[in-house]
Each structure stands twice: as C-alpha cells, then as structure tokens.
C-alpha cells in the first residue's frame, strides 16, 4: 500500500540555520513526489515536485529536495531559514495513474530569532 512517513512531528530551528525535513515513502512503482507548505489560514502551496530525471530538484522560496530511490526518501532542505518559513510542511506521493494522492502527517516548523 502507498504511504508517506514524515518522522519529525515538530522541528525548531534558529533563523539563518539550515533545515532538513525528512520524508519516506512506500510505493510500488516510480513515485511522483511533492512537498507542500501550509501556513495558518492559507491553502496548501506547492514548493517543488519530482517526476523523473535529476534527483535534486529546486523549488520556490529557496527550497530543494533530493530523491533517493535506495532509501525511499525525498528530504526537503533549505540552507538558511527565514522567520517567514514557519509553517506546516507536507510530503506527498502521487500515483502514476494520476488519480490517487497520499500526504504525510506533516512536520511543523518553528523558527526562533
């Protein structure tokens, strides 16, 4: 069965520090992987996506993610966190048939000055 695991429920980082949010997936075929951000009162916004090709993908707001098939992981990174990055982050996998979509339980990011 398809599933997405985000092991870290909550992470706190200092402004300017680097960030890595973990995501592991379980999917039988080639996964289509996504990271979304959800701020309070806001809809989900796509940060980046991986379908194929280069395993390091660049997204908006300075985020990047690396797909590692051997580890079934798709971790999100940012070299220097800004206070405005405080939000809930969701990893998701889409089926290759295009009609199923699975989210992880999310990681809440707190940024301290």
Distance, CA of 80 to CA of 24 (rounded, Å): 23
Please tell me whether residue 26 binds other proteins under the rule CB under 8 A: no
Please tell me whether residue 25 binds other proteins under the rule CB under 8 A: no
Kindly tell me which of 83 and 101 has the beta carbon lying closer to other proteins. 101
x/- mask, other proteins, residues 44-63, rule CB under 8 A, reads xxx--x-x------------
Kindly tell me which of 24 and 96 has the beta carbon lying closer to other proteins. 96
Q: Collapse the DSSP code of 5 into the 3-class scheme (helix H, G, I; strand E, B; otherwise coil) and give the result.
A: strand
Q: Collapse the DSSP code of 19 into the 3-class scheme (helix H, G, I; strand E, B; otherwise coil) and give the result.
A: strand
The string of DSSP codes covering 29-68 is S--EEEEEEE-TT---EEEEEE-SS-SEEE-GGG-EEEEE
Residues 28-47 that bind other proteins (CB under 8 A): 32, 36, 41-46
The contact set with other proteins (CB under 8 A) reads 4, 6, 32, 36, 41-46, 49, 51, 90, 92, 94-106
């Amino acid at each position: 069965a398809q599933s997405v695991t985000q092991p870290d429920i909550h992470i706190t980082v200092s402004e300017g520090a680097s960030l890595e949010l973990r995501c592991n997936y379980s999917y039988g075929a080639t996964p289509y992987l996504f990271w979304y951000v959800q701020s309070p009162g806001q809809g989900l916004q796509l940060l980046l996506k991986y379908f194929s090709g280069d395993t390091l993908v660049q997204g908006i707001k300075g985020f990047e993610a690396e797909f590692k098939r051997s580890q079934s992981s798709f971790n999100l990174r940012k070299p220097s966190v800004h206070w405005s990055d405080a939000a809930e982050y969701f990893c998701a996998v889409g089926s290759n048939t295009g009609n199923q979509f699975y989210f992880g339980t999310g990681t809440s990011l707190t940024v301290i000055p």
